Amino acid sequence: MVKIHLPNSAFLGNIDPFLRSFDPSNKNELTITSNNKWVSVHPMVVAIVASLGKGISTEKLKFEAFEARSKHYFERIGLFKFLGINSGISVTEHDPSGRFIPLTRINNSTQLTQFLTEMIPLLHLADNPKQAEPIRYIASELVRNVIEHSQAEDGAIVCAQYYKTSNTIRIGIVDGGVGVRKTITQSHLAQDDFEAIKLALTPGVTGTTRKEGGTELNAGAGLFFIKSIAHVNRDFFLLYSGKAMYKLLKRSLKEEIFLQSDPLKDRHSKEKALPHWNGTAVGIDLCLDNTKEFSVLLDLIRNTYATSVRERRKEKYRKPKFT
């Protein structure tokens, strides 16, 4: 039986204790408890709980010690509906526009297109391309990764919420597929889950080929682009797969903007012995106050990507000289 406890606070900055606290290996039963006063968690946490609970019969899904305020939140965010159980409470469902996107399952490119079409207006960003474009790109790339590489039968589970106080959009995308390591080791060596995550975040590395820079269809750029967007805008980014986690931390305001091709050279934290997550869980925060012009941002990222791939190609094919 899986037991998972929702603390009063679990956002990307302090999520580590939550990730250490549960064992997702046995999915026959799921018991969910919560802090007895209030709960405020990142959408990635909600998506993780939804992923753990999908496919479990309602008789073996238990919500214990949930206070009315917590129940109301999870009812509105769509957790109870997603899992097919009755929360026992009735709420007036106001239009979520501008506040959150309930738990959504995406299985194919058609559903992804529909989701992206609905997401920008829902978050009141349609009239501000500067803010909308990075969010559209990130959501599209992360979900596309799930559809194309994860082999997850249920696709991607997506959830997002806008936080007015910090003017931040937080996004969680979770799948129960094969995970980063199995995907990367189709073409590259990775001794453990963390090494696989490091490779996945490295520009020009993809599990579809050994070729530096990937292929026309998959250049190994997506996760590097997303991490770079978060780095430039001073936002959190987290990737959890297998037993490992990589978390990009906020750079200092005084730090000059410089993109690293090696993710370990960025300010980050890591875990290598977490409970094993079969698929992949990704969380990202985007503060709308900090969003850089997307075209300028992409030019900066593309230049770093191209330089990194070019240098690795030279290193790979450089032959020793004998005199």
pLDDT digit string, tens, across residues 1-23: 788 888 889 999 999 999 999 88
Query: Is residue 105 pLDDT above 70, yes or no?
Result: yes
Residue 38, domain member (yes or no):
no
> CB neighbours of 158 closer than 8 A, spacing ≥ 6?
47, 101, 103, 104, 105, 106, 115, 139, 143, 171, 172, 173
Residue 92, domain member (yes or no):
no
Residue 22, domain member (yes or no):
no
Asked if 286 contacts 168 with a C-beta cutoff of 8 angstroms, the reply is yes
Q: At what angle do helices 129-145 and 294-317 cross, to 10 degrees?
A: 40
Residue 121, domain member (yes or no):
yes
Which of the pair, 32 or 209, is modelled with greater confidence? Answer: 32
* The pLDDT of residue 50: 94
Query: Is residue 53 pLDDT above 80, yes or no?
Result: yes
Residue 86, domain member (yes or no):
no
Residue 5, domain member (yes or no):
no
pLDDT tier for residue 217 given thresholds of 50, 70 and 90: very low
Query: pLDDT, tens digit, for every residue of 255-301?
Result: 888 888 899 999 999 999 999 999 999 999 988 887 776 667 777 87
Closest by Cα among 99, 81, 209, 227 to 164: 99
Residue 187, domain member (yes or no):
yes
Q: How far is CA 63 from the centre of its chain?
A: 25
Asked if 220 contacts 213 with a C-beta cutoff of 8 angstroms, the reply is yes
Residue 242, domain member (yes or no):
yes
Range of the domain at 181: 97-317
Neighbours of 217 (CB within 10 A): 9
Number of domains making up the chain: 1
Asked if 199 contacts 190 with a C-beta cutoff of 8 angstroms, the reply is yes
List the CATH number of the domain containing 259: 3.30.565.10
